[in-house]
């Protein structure tokens, strides 16, 4: 079984999705800031529809789940390799 390889793949995918989520939020912030020059999080949230803002949240949560599964896969691979 290749838990270590699958774990590393899931870990890197999770990190990538978390980074993409942050990039999405920066892009949304810059788009709103260029129109309104608002600095508070409240005014930014008012100007961005919920269905758009939720995309970044779902990306972050999916990345976090993949990251956790990747760590579990890596630890399982290491444990099974040392058990032999």
User: Which residue is associated with the tokens 């838990």?
Assistant: 3
- Give the helix/strand (H/E) hosting 29: helix 3-36
The residue count of the chain comes to: 84
The two three-digit tokens of residue 59, written as one number: 């990306």
| Overall number of domains in the chain | 1
Confidence class for position 38, pLDDT limits 50, 70, 90 = low
The pTM is what?
0.83
Q: Which domain holds residue 29?
A: 3-83
- pLDDT tens-digit series, residues 58-78: 999 999 999 999 999 999 888
């Amino acid at each position: 079984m290749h838990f270590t390889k699958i774990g590393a793949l899931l870990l890197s995918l999770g990190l990538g999705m978390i980074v993409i989520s942050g990039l999405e939020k920066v892009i949304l912030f810059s788009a709103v800031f260029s129109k309104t020059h608002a600095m508070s999080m409240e005014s930014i949230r008012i100007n961005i529809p919920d269905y758009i803002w939720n995309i970044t949240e779902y990306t972050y949560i999916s990345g976090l789940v993949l990251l956790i599964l990747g760590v579990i896969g890596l630890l399982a691979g290491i444990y099974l390799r040392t058990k032999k």
